[in-house]
């Protein structure tokens, strides 16, 4: 069967077509700058590319463009709509209702809508994608794959905050965690690569990119994760601050910064970008660090330090750790950063092999020493494929 994967954002529409169960991508595309003066659609398949610039006033028009590209006589991915047998949607927030992917019906749509207040930038766009797909594809089965679902196995001790319980009861304030689809995907691939059984394997998965999170997985279940009520908590990221003393917010307010300004600073002007004053891109910072830029060096060291701190905490809670997995843009491509992170973890049984690390590069592979009690792996993530797997299983 062919499964269409849709990731609908506030101003973009990303899509990919998979042939299942072969797990083969038939091509992918993206509509950008929806609602702006000039938009663009690009599509790639087997070395062929399609690109068109034109106004895309709304998501309805974006879906029409996607269909035109999919059915293009020369560069399309299908010859007839009937070839598509299911649609999988990335949905950011499933709240406490969903701990796994689910076939979309009216109850699911209501739940996604109810959780818009928890993910105001993402859930409304995800819901728009679902409704537009319903209108275009009619009764074709659709599946929602939630970023938060994998972390619904956290215990209260891991997801509750030390604030009055009424805030949880009344406003649903708790740790939800994100990047769950990615953590779940690399967890499965790690088991395949090492030929281990899920029931007796514990691992720590590090999704490191512009957004970054770490998850502790015990026998297939997420027991802790670094992102919290929002994706702002946890590790320092490309432009997000990560963990900080909440009183800093009050301190800045007293000095004339308003709420929206502080929110923008913590989400878009902090992290690697804010500390370095140079860039949120690891490559730029490593080049600057090589030239002796002290701010770049400190930003890189702080990034690695925060990750080591979380790894240490998760090793303590898991008791037994079998694997550490690096994924995401930085986790996969950041050869030097992987070495920075592992540099002081030998006392925990994490011994990186620098030669293997450098020769593996961005490919999937084991990068630990043969004597390392904890195996270190690099695994490229593929959230779209995980969504396709879930969709194919559910509609079958």
Neighbours of 332 (CB within 10 A): 23
Find the catalytic residue in 80, 106, 107, 147: 147
Per-residue 3-state assignment (H helix, E strand, C coil) for the chain? CEEEEEEECCCCEEEEEEECCCCEEEEEEEEECCCCCCEEEEEEECCEEEEEEECCCCHHHHHHHHHHHHCCCCCCCCCCHHHEEEEEEEECCCCCCCCCCEECCHHHHHHHHHHHHCCCCCHHHHHHHHHHHHHHHCCCCEEEEECCHHHHHCCHHHHCCCCCHHHHHHHCCCCCCCCHHHHHHHHHHHHHHHCCCHHHCEEEEEEECCCEEEEEEECCEEEEECCCCCCCCCCCCCCCCCCCCCHHHHHHHHCCCCHHHHHHHHHHCCHHHHHHCCCCCHHHHHHHHHCCCHHHHHHHHHHHHHHHHHHHHHHHHHCCCCEEEEEHHHHHHCHHHHHHHHCCCHHHCECECHHHHHHHCCCCEECECCCCCEEEEECCCCHHHHHHHHHHHHHC
Structure tokens given for 250: 């009050």
Q: Is 245 a catalytic residue?
A: no
List, by residue number, the catalytic residues.
147
């Amino acid at each position: 069967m062919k499964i269409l994967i849709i990731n609908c954002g506030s101003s973009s529409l990303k899509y990919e077509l998979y042939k299942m169960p072969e797990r083969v991508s038939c091509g992918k595309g993206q509509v950008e700058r929806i609602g702006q003066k000039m938009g663009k659609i690009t599509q790639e398949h087997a070395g062929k590319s399609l690109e068109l610039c034109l106004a895309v006033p709304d998501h309805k028009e974006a879906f029409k463009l996607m269909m035109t590209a999919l059915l293009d006589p020369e560069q399309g991915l299908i010859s007839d709509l009937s070839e598509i047998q299911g649609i999988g949607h990335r949905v950011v927030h499933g709240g406490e209702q969903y701990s796994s992917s689910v076939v979309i019906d009216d109850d699911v749509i209501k739940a996604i809508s109810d959780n818009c207040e928890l993910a105001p930038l993402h859930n409304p766009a995800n819901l728009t994608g679902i409704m537009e797909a319903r209108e275009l594809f009619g009764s074709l089965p659709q599946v929602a794959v939630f970023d938060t679902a994998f972390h619904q196995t956290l215990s209260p001790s891991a997801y509750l905050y030390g604030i009055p319980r009424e805030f949880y009861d009344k406003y649903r304030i708790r740790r939800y965690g994100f990047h769950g689809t990615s953590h779940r995907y690399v967890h499965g691939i790690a088991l395949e690569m090492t030929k281990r059984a899920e029931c007796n394997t514990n691992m720590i998965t590090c999704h490191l990119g512009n957004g970054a999170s770490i998850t502790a997985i015990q026998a297939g279940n997420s027991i802790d994760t670094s992102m919290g009520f929002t994706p702002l908590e946890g590790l320092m990221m490309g432009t997000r601050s990560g963990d900080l003393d909440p009183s800093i917010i009050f301190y800045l307010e007293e000095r004339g910064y308003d709420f929206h300004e502080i929110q923008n600073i913590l989400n878009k002007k902090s992290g690697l970008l804010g500390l370095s004053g140079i860039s949120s891109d690891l490559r730029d910072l490593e080049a600057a660090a090589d030239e002796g830029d002290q701010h770049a060096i400190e930003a890189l060291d702080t990034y690695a330090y925060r990750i080591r701190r979380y790894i240490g905490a998760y090793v303590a809670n898991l008791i037994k750790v079998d694997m550490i997995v690096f994924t995401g843009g930085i986790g996969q491509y950041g050869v030097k950063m992987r070495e920075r992170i592992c540099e002081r973890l030998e006392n925990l049984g994490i011994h990186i092999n620098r030669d293997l690390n450098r020769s593996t590069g961005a490919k999937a592979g084991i990068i630990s020493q043969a004597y390392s009690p904890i195996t270190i792996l690099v695994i490229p993530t593929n959230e779209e494929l995980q969504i396709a797997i879930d969709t194919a299983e559910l509609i079958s």
